[in-house]
Amino acid sequence: MSQQPVKKSHLAAKRLKSAIKISGNTYESLLDDPKWTEIVKTYNSRTIRRWLKDGVPTNKIARIAKYFGISGRLFTDESFSQDDFERQLYPTDKLSIQFNENNSVIKTGEKKQRVLPNNFFAYDDAWVGRELLVEQLLQQFQNGCRLLLILGITGIGKTALAERLSFMLFEWFDRDWNDNFFKSKF
């Protein structure tokens, strides 16, 4: 096993421990949750304790992240600080505290919306080419398309196209996936 997966495995263990604590769970209460056993497929508290000590198996990280409702990358990517990780785990139904421009506290009773990191989109803003195709595909979504399959040879730009489409759809949803992702849009 190379050093990189081991390092990610230990970082995932540290963050799993934090996630369990922040979510208000214990090892046993996780095992009592049918959602945990269905998604993570782990049935023994000793296994969880072993993961926290020796590292989370890489094949379980994505499942654990799915259980907590966040990206698996948050469990393994060192570019996300522990604070960034913990901010993504706060329960969405509790009172959130926000600061205005004058650093005065604004308390709201609204659900806390998860914020995408500023560097979420990896491709350059000066992306060129395929503008007509992007417009045609966006028109398809706006006309009710529910599934888009992008196929092509290696290096043709499938990922760049998908990312550009997701960015444009994000704008179409008024930069708010949660409140504007309704069936009526489709």
Domain residue extents for the chain: 3-89, 131-185
| C-alpha span between 6 and 23 (Å, rounded) | 25
Helix (H, G, I), strand (E, B) or coil at 69: coil
Could you tell me if 164 and 123 are in contact, meaning their C-beta atoms sit under 8 angstroms apart?
A: yes
pLDDT for 153 equals 92
Q: Which fold has domain 3-89?
A: 434 Repressor (Amino-terminal Domain) (1.10.260)
pLDDT exceeding 90 applies to what percent of the chain?
1
57-89 confidence digits (pLDDT tens):
888 888 888 888 888 888 888 888 887 778 777
Please indicate whether residue 22 or residue 13 has the higher confidence score (pLDDT): 13
Q: Is the pTM of this model over 0.75?
A: no
Could you tell me if 89 and 114 are in contact, meaning their C-beta atoms sit under 8 angstroms apart?
A: no
Give the confidence band of 165 by pLDDT, cuts at 50, 70, 90. Answer: confident
110-162 confidence digits (pLDDT tens):
444 444 444 455 555 556 677 788 888 888 888 888 788 989 898 888 888 88
Residue 54's DSSP bridge partners are none
Among the ranges given (1-5, 20-24, 30-34, 166-170), the one the predictor scored with the smallest mean pLDDT: 1-5
Contacts of 39 (CB under 8 A, 6+ apart): 63, 66, 67
